[in-house]
Structure 1
Amino acid sequence: MHIRIQKLVGLLMGLLMGLLIASSGLAQEKFPEGPIKIIVPFAAGGGVDSAARLLARQLQTDLGVPVIVDNRPGASGTIGGKAVQTAPADGLTLLFSAATQVLTGEAMAKPPYDPLKDFSFVARTASAPLLMVISPTLPQTQLKDIMQAARTEPDKWFAGLPALGAPSHLATLMLAKEGQLNLATVVYRGTAPALTDVAGGTTQILIDSIISLQSLAKAGKVKPIIVTSAKRSALMPEIPTAAESGFPNFVAESWYGVWGPKDLPAKRQQALHKAINEATRQLVKSGAYAPLGIDPVIESVDDFRKYSQRYVSESASLLKSSGYRPE
């Protein structure tokens, strides 16, 4: 009887040790072990792509695994978004996109997913100021004078929109609201054709990311008026903010963030969040972000989610009040 009890105790101890070893292995799971793919839903070479590649290189250095950027442009960013939404929720496929990502439901009549419910929020990484430029053929140099001229002769003022439902679109609507303008808009397929028309004088106003407009602005091909951020941009520190120009409520920006598929395991979500925040700190320390003119953002996952919800709510209200109808 005594021998049987000893054997039973031995079996139980062995089983317990096995469970402890297994649970320890799970608790100390090495993540990530394989390569990480970051999908960018826009073409290579733009501001979003440039920021994504900086982050990817830093993450690769920090984590010791390959981090690959995969550009999947098209359909207002939803082709790349859909690829991440349907990917395995293992944390190895991520989406790096701009504020446009969370506005999908407001900008499209039949969005392919719910951006607030069908993804895991991982980290918001940066905010990006927008720049307002006008045609160099116009005499105005101050925002208040442009507002006055556009109110007096609305049929002579047109604003270009590089994309519908994007931060540039929202900033243009905000401009019209703050200036009490009946501002007609012209929709373009991207920034380049809009810039061509503003430089040529057929379209008068354009608001878009400062990184997209600064070259032509510095060359005198278009006339820079204001940045829409709360503070001046280090890329063009001589350009005032809208607030400095007499319109304190005119504040708009784009921003970048990282998402994963829905139901991303909490431990992996937090591991990625921590790694991205640390990579952001290193990019700031090294000065790598400076040429892009973007400001770093380090916040919790919950803050990122709440910020996105608030951003969508405010943007939806602005779009609705303007009479915009998604296509």
Structure 2
Amino acid sequence: MKRILVTAASLACALLAMPLAAHAQYPERDIRVVVPWGAGGGTDAIARKLTQIAEDEIGGTMYVENIEGGVSATGISQVMRAPTDGYTIGVLTYDSVVTIPWQGLLPSYDLENLKLVARVTSEPDALVIDADAGYDTLEQLLAAAKEDPEGVRVAVQNLGGRTHLALLQLQQLSDTQFQVISYPGGAGPQKEAILSGEAVGAVTSLGDFANLLQDGTVKGLAEFSSAPNPTYPDVPLAKDHGVDLEIGSFIVLAVPAGTPDDIVAQIESAYQAAYESQEFQDWVSNVGVTPSWLGTSEVTQWAEETQQTLFEEMDALVEQGILTK
């Protein structure tokens, strides 16, 4: 009888230990990385490069899936609803963290539905212009817009989103009006708009337009940053031309809330190793994006503080009648 009791106790202990053993085997199948924007933009490129390197670190297959719609709400909602097993990772941007909750685009949205793993980039926005448009300085473009607002067509991404907000603030600070054209879906459609002649310029990060900057198709007219871009130091800062504006995006990795801490730690470790690799650092230095790491222990507080600050700024623009909600 005693031997039976010991066996039963051993079996109970083994059953209790099974989840820990399962975690220890992670990953056992493919890991899905959701990019809530279309292919071809800066967020997509960075996510794919980091994931490609992280795949070797984590010891399993990882694949990127682009899920467009709702200013990234469609993809982020899938991440929030995914099983908490570490096999779904979301790539969040400014709009995922700020625009969606502020505009109420996803009623079920709550930052607490996600476990933030790390921030990997900080990307100031910029005004890029068709190199053949004849504008060599920000002052020249602003003067043209004041003379003929309908004639200076500038592409943003989603109306009410980050790039639209940046352009609205530029207009306010410079007492200028542009013809604003929205191209939802990320930087890819903005590039097509300039290449086709539908727009003369666009507001987004320099990294989003890296290939067109490198081949001379477009040029950076002004970056909305506090310091020169390390990859494109010749792009002027808006503040140096009388427009004191700083705004931009970022990339944050997240998993569904409730994902076990040991799995979160494995994901963080794999991406941190990828981030710190010489391969990624060399690659990112050529695309005009600033790598900026915040780990699991810091990123949530930073995101909450960023939300609060930007919510207050946008509420003030609504009160002034510059932005609608």
- Assess same fold via TM > 0.5: yes
Query: Which is greater in Rg?
Result: 1
User: Does the Cα contact within 8 Å between 1:51 and 1:292 map onto a contact in 2?
Assistant: no
Give the one of 55, 64, 74 matched to 1:60.
Answer: 55
**For 1:36-80, what per-residue CA distance to the aligned partner results, in whole angstroms no more than 9, with x for missing partners?**
211112222322221112222222211211112222222322222
| More displaced 10-residue stretch of structure 1: 180-189 or 292-301 | 180-189
User: Does the Cα contact within 8 Å between 1:135 and 1:200 map onto a contact in 2?
Assistant: no
Measure the CA separation in 2 of the matches of 1:201 and 1:13: 77
**For 1:217-247, what per-residue CA distance to the aligned partner results, in whole angstroms no more than 9, with x for missing partners?**
4555444312223333344232122234344
Determine what percentage of the aligned residue pairs are the same residue.
Answer: 22
Match of 1:260, SS state, is strand
1:32 maps to 26
Equivalent residues in 2 for 1:29-178, closer than 5 Å: 29-30=23-24, 32-34=26-28, 35-106=30-101, 108-134=103-129, 140-147=135-142, 150=145, 154=149, 157-178=152-173
2:304 paired with 1:305: no
User: Does the Cα contact within 8 Å between 2:153 and 2:199 map onto a contact in 1?
Assistant: yes
Measure the CA separation in 2 of the matches of 1:133 and 1:154: 17
Measure the CA separation in 2 of the matches of 1:310 and 1:259: 17
Gaps of 5+ in 2: none
Match of 2:112, SS state, is coil
**Relative to 1, partners in 2 of residues 1:260 and 1:196: Cα closer, same or farther, differing over 3 Å?**
closer
1:274 maps to 269
Match of 1:243, SS state, is helix
User: Does the Cα contact within 8 Å between 2:58 and 2:266 map onto a contact in 1?
Assistant: no
Measure the CA separation in 2 of the matches of 1:210 and 1:263: 36
Give the one of 232, 235, 238 matched to 1:236.
Answer: 232
Q: 2:60 is matched by which residue type in structure 1?
A: V
Equivalent residues in 2 for 1:167-206, closer than 5 Å: 167-190=162-185, 191=187, 194-195=190-191, 203-206=199-202
What number of residue pairs does the alignment pair up? 319
Match of 2:254, SS state, is strand
**Relative to 1, partners in 2 of residues 1:37 and 1:16: Cα closer, same or farther, differing over 3 Å?**
same
Tell me the TM-score normalised to structure 2 length: 0.80
**For 1:250-276, what per-residue CA distance to the aligned partner results, in whole angstroms no more than 9, with x for missing partners?**
222221111111222233323322332
Measure the CA separation in 2 of the matches of 1:109 and 1:95: 19
Tell me the TM-score normalised to structure 1 length: 0.79
2:223 paired with 1:224: no
**Relative to 1, partners in 2 of residues 1:196 and 1:43: Cα closer, same or farther, differing over 3 Å?**
closer
User: Does the Cα contact within 8 Å between 1:173 and 1:318 map onto a contact in 2?
Assistant: no
User: Does the Cα contact within 8 Å between 2:129 and 2:219 map onto a contact in 1?
Assistant: yes
Measure the CA separation in 2 of the matches of 1:155 and 1:28: 61
Q: What's the CA shift for 1:214?
A: 4.0
User: Does the Cα contact within 8 Å between 2:35 and 2:66 map onto a contact in 1?
Assistant: yes
**Relative to 1, partners in 2 of residues 1:220 and 1:300: Cα closer, same or farther, differing over 3 Å?**
closer
Gaps of 5+ in 1: none
| More displaced 10-residue stretch of structure 1: 147-156 or 96-105 | 147-156
Give the one of 209, 212, 216 matched to 2:208.
Answer: 212
**Relative to 1, partners in 2 of residues 1:112 and 1:24: Cα closer, same or farther, differing over 3 Å?**
closer
Match of 2:111, SS state, is coil
Q: What's the CA shift for 1:281?
A: 0.9
Measure the CA separation in 1 of the matches of 2:168 and 2:93: 19
